[in-house]
């Protein structure tokens, strides 16, 4: 489990498509503190560490990504915002018992890919509007929580399949949101609570 509070910005240094996609990500996390088999959320995708090390003073870890995960996320290697060598990605290590829950409960299981369709400055913050997949729109609520590229954010308003958020200056510096551009494909995870409420409603209607 994660909280959506980003603790490092990693950089993809190598992508290798074998049976599955394997990625090497440079990080400020000390390699000796990363366990093999540990979970790290990379742009909101929960991935398992299969190797880690250090080259010329730069720590790194490797993850293996299944075709199923690639198909549901922005790892598809199709657009500017998709994964590629040199791309910076939001990182968060798994929540430990006793850690502060500063964002909201995030599973790292991406539900779909949203598109950033508009952004403009609004005071010191940046206003962003996204288009979600139609099937996920009912799970997004005004003033509710959502995880976008692994970042816990609050929804300002919802209009059909589109919704808006504000990104404050600190978030733009502490994450990759300062590099966002219209047309970017963004990993979206709906609030876990919304998912269970919807399931209960389905059960009650059955």
Strand partners of residue 182: none
Confidence of residue 199 (pLDDT cuts 50, 70, 90): low
Q: Mean pLDDT throughout 34-41?
A: 96
Sign, Cα dihedral of 188, 193, 199, 204: negative
For 75, other C-beta atoms within 10 Å of its C-beta total 26
| Helix, coil or strand: residue 63 | strand
| Helix, coil or strand: residue 75 | coil
85 token code pair: 């060598």
Q: Which domains does the chain have, with CATH numbers?
A: 8-93 (2.40.30.20), 112-205 (2.40.30.20)
Is residue 133 over pLDDT 80? yes
Task: Calculate what percentage of the chain has a pLDDT beyond 90.
Answer: 74
Higher-confidence position of 95 and 77: 95
**Given this model, what pLDDT does residue 81 score?**
75
Phi-psi region of 170 (alpha: psi -120 to 50; beta: other; left: phi over 0): alpha
Taking the C-alpha atoms of residue 206 and residue 199, their distance in angstroms, rounded to an integer, is 11
Q: pLDDT tens digits for 78-100?
A: 667 789 999 999 999 997 766 66
User: What is the Cβ-side half-sphere exposure of residue 75, based on CA atoms within 13 angstroms?
Assistant: 27
Q: What are phi and psi of 86, to 5 degrees?
A: 95, -15
Q: pLDDT tens digits for 43-72?
A: 999 999 999 999 988 999 999 999 999 989
**Given this model, what pLDDT does residue 79 score?**
66
This prediction's pTM: 0.91
The DSSP element (H or E) to which 195 belongs, if any, is helix 192-205
């Amino acid at each position: 489990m994660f909280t959506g509070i980003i603790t490092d910005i990693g950089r993809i240094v190598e992508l290798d498509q074998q049976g599955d996609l394997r990625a090497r990500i440079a990080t400020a996390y000390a390699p000796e503190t990363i366990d093999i088999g540990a979970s790290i959320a990379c742009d909101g995708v929960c991935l398992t560490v299969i190797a880690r090390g250090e080259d010329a003073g730069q720590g790194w870890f490797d993850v293996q990504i299944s075709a199923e995960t690639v198909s549901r996320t922005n790892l598809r290697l199709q657009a500017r915002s998709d994964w590629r060598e040199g791309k910076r990605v939001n990182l968060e290590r798994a929540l430990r018992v006793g850690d502060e829950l500063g964002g909201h409960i995030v599973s790292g299981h991406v539900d779909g890919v949203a598109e950033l369709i508009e952004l403009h400055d609004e005071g010191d913050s940046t206003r962003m509007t996204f288009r979600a997949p139609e099937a996920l729109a009912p799970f997004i609520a005004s003033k509710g929580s959502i995880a976008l590229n692994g970042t816990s954010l609050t929804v300002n308003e919802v209009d059909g399949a589109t919704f808006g958020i504000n990104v404050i200056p600190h978030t733009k510096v502490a994450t990759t949101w300062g590099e966002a551009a219209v047309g970017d494909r963004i990993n979206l995870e709906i609030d876990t609570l919304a998912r269970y409420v919807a399931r209960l409603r389905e059960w009650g209607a059955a």
